[in-house]
């Protein structure tokens, strides 16, 4: 637990440092090139999206506020001031802040959902039962560690497309048994380790 917290803190600190350097270099480059507020805001948004893919929502929100300050101070006239003389610039900055907040929120939700699915897949790998998942096209999309140990093929190498003539389970099992029997064929002089009971997979 302590190691995990230390790793999380170190990772957040490293991301903050990298993001700070990226913001500083981008601000300097845009200011030297004389880019307008809209172009600079778009470039800032790219960095914030990349940051949200790697960091937390809070970290992305903090740098979104930093980007708003940079836009108002360096790129909205009068420069070197947080006052905005043109109402359109204020609208552009508000639109930038809103867009960055919405994108960061949805990216964070997607990351959390992916992390949850990854944890569930890891739990399935803890069992020694043979578990696999098929999609609507009868393609095996998941192959757990129990199946790898039983059939001797990793999930990356298992790319068999099951073409079924009907949707009944009996037909599916009969087709799968023929495929498994070929991959579990005994080598010369050795007995096969596959038994009829082992050949029956867990239906998912």
Q: State pLDDT tens for residues 49-65.
A: 888 888 778 888 899 99
CB 45 within 8 A of CB 100: yes
CA distance 39 to 26: 11
Q: What is the pTM of this model?
A: 0.59
Q: State pLDDT tens for residues 66-125.
A: 999 999 999 999 899 998 888 999 999 999 999 999 988 888 888 888 777 777 777 777
Q: State pLDDT tens for residues 128-154.
A: 777 777 777 766 777 777 777 777 766
Task: Give ∠ CA 156-157-158 in degrees, rounded to 5.
Answer: 95
Read off φ and ψ for residue 140, nearest 5 degrees.
Answer: -70, 115
The pLDDT assigned to 161 comes to 43
In DSSP notation, 114-182 reads: HHHHHHHHHHHHTS-S-BEEE-TTSBEEEE-HHHHHHHS--TTT---B---SS--HHHHHHHHHHHHHH
Cis peptide before 45 (omega within 30 of 0): no
In DSSP notation, 67-102 reads: HHHHIIIIISSSSSSS--S-HHHHHHHHHHHHHHHH
Helix (H) or strand (E) run with residue 18 in it: helix 2-33
CA distance 80 to 62: 21
């Amino acid at each position: 637990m302590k190691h995990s917290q230390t790793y999380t803190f170190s990772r957040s600190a490293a991301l903050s440092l990298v993001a700070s350097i990226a913001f500083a270099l981008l601000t300097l480059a845009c200011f030297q090139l004389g880019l307008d507020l809209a172009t600079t805001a778009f470039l800032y948004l790219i960095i914030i999206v990349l940051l949200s893919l790697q960091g937390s929502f809070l970290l992305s929100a903090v740098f979104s506020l930093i980007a708003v300050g940079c836009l108002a101070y360096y790129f909205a006239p009068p420069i070197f001031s947080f006052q905005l003389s043109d109402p359109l610039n204020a609208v552009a900055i508000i639109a930038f802040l809103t867009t960055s907040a919405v994108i960061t929120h949805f990216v964070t939700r997607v990351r959390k959902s992916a992390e949850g699915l990854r944890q569930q897949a890891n739990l399935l790998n803890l069992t020694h039962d043979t578990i696999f998942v098929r999609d609507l096209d009868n393609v095996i999309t998941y192959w757990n560690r129990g199946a790898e140990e039983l059939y001797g093929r990793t999930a990356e190498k298992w790319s068999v497309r099951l073409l079924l003539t009907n949707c009944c389970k009996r037909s599916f099992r009969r087709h799968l048994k023929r495929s498994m029997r070929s991959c579990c064929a005994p080598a010369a002089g050795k007995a096969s380790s596959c038994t009829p009971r082992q050949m029956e997979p867990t239906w998912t």
